């Protein structure tokens, strides 16, 4: 428990050396502009007006950015507020109340830890504490979730159900746009749902540290709920751009497996969606910065393939003029090599590319 940032970060005035990133990876002091062109999809209004136009709007966002913000998405706004509040309350609790879920064992299905799953061996630590647990099927895992705050399980259960339904809607629209047919993203490709809450305390020197480093998501698709504190940045056309938090919006981020299905390893990944779409959809590189004055909380809900599932370009997208860019592989195979190589960006897929 003493490793948790929440245990000691408020008592230090300078950044410990073990949290200082290399010069080429740290954020530095440069001002990063907000990206005002990231698509914002008003889901209910778009679907009510013209379903085809809504499909194309989402498809273009996935092709050009690999992410978009979605509003009027059907998840109850009061539930969003309650979920963020109960998560913040969890991180604010004294250590003795969080001790039952703290673990340094990465195989635990529910655990609180700091930095990454490999704290003892990593070269530099991340400025974040993380609570993550499995959510699907809920009844198989809810008994492992935190018992405090007392309303945590009820609130997060309902949140998981509603975001799970939203993910199915968004994936169906992406299927439609790619011409994959309804139900393509079935249970094998979406059967693992993970709830992951990041807590970023104020940092003594935000120019040297990171909450999360530059990475692509290894999963299929992510739904990110931010609080009002800015911290998400996306790497686009050779520069970092800020993603402005929008109240009650989700940031939807495609994973490597979408470039066709993907696997999820704790905090980073190279996307399944990129593979499945045979490179038509992109998995954006992004990171989380820190700040010196405010606590920041973000909630990640990720949709992942089952370990045994086969990840490969969708066959309907392959023909004589569009050859497969990646070989078929099991998600667990990808995760294993991902752990060994520790390449959280485009290099994570190098071993699966088909050489012409």
User: Residue 55's pLDDT band (boundaries 50, 70, 90)?
Assistant: very high
E-state strands within 162-230: 192-200, 212-215, 221-226
Q: Worst-scoring range by mean pLDDT, 37-41, 293-297, 348-352? A: 348-352
pLDDT bucket at 265, cuts 50 / 70 / 90: very low
* Angstrom distance (rounded) from CA 133 to CA 108: 8
What pTM value is reported for the model? 0.93
pLDDT tens digit sequence for 220-234? 999 999 999 999 999
Half-sphere exposure of residue 52, counting CA atoms within 13 Å on the CB side? 0
Q: Of the ranges 247-256, 295-304, 341-350, which one carries the lowest mean pLDDT score?
A: 341-350
Of the chain, the percentage scoring pLDDT greater than 90 comes to: 83
C-alpha dihedral (233, 175, 273, 277), degrees to nearest 10:
-120
Residue-wise pLDDT for 311-343, tens only, equals 999 999 999 999 999 999 999 888 777 666 655
Tokens of 183: 């139900």
Q: pLDDT tens digits, residue range 108-147?
A: 999 999 999 889 999 999 999 999 999 999 999 999 999 9
Distance of alpha carbon 92 from alpha carbon 315, whole angstroms: 48
How far is it, in rounded angstroms, from Cα 313 to Cα 278? 5
Alpha carbon distances (Å) from 330 to 175, 268, 277, 305: 21, 18, 16, 9
Structural Rg of the chain based on CA atoms = 19
Reported in sequence order, the residue ranges of the chain that DSSP labels E, i.e. its strands, are 40-42, 67-71, 110-114, 129-134, 192-200, 212-215, 221-226, 232-236, 239-242, 250-254, 257-259, 272, 286-288, 296-304, 310-311, 329-330
């Amino acid at each position: 428990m003493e490793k948790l940032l929440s245990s000691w970060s408020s008592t230090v005035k300078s950044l410990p050396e073990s949290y200082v990133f290399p010069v080429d990876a740290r954020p530095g002091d440069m001002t990063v502009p907000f990206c005002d062109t990231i698509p914002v999809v008003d889901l209910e209004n778009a679907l009510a007006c013209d379903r085809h136009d809504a499909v194309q709007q989402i498809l273009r966002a996935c092709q050009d950015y690999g992410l978009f913000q979605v509003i009027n998405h059907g998840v109850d706004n009061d539930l969003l507020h309650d979920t963020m509040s109960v998560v913040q309350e969890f991180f604010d609790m004294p250590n003795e109340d969080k001790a039952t879920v703290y673990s340094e064992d990465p195989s635990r299905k529910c655990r609180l830890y700091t930095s990454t799953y490999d704290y003892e061996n990593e070269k530099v630590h991340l400025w974040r504490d993380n609570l993550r647990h499995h959510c699907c099927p809920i009844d198989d895992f809810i008994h492992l979730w935190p018992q405090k705050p007392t309303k945590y399980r009820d609130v997060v259960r309902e949140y998981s159900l509603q975001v799970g339904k939203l993910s199915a809607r968004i994936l169906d629209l992406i299927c439609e746009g790619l011409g994959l047919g309804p139900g393509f993203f079935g249970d094998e490709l979406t059967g693992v749902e993970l709830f992951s809450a990041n807590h970023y305390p104020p940092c003594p020197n935000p120019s040297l540290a990171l909450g999360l480093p530059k990475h692509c998501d290894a999963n299929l698709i992510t739904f990110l709920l931010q609080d009002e504190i800015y911290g998400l940045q996306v790497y686009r056309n050779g520069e970092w751009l800020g993603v402005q938090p929008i109240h009650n919006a989700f940031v939807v981020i495609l994973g490597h497996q979408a470039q066709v299905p993907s696997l999820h390893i704790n905090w980073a990944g190279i996307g399944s969606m990129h593979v499945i779409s045979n490179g038509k959809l992109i998995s954006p590189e992004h990171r989380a910065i820190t700040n010196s004055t405010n606590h920041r909380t973000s909630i990640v809900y990720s949709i992942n393939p089952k370990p045994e599932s086969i990840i490969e370009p969708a066959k309907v997208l392959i023909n004589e003029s569009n050859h497969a860019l990646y070989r078929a592989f099991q998600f667990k195979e990808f995760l294993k090599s991902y752990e060994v190589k520790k390449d959280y960006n485009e290099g994570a897929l190098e071993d699966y590319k088909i050489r012409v």
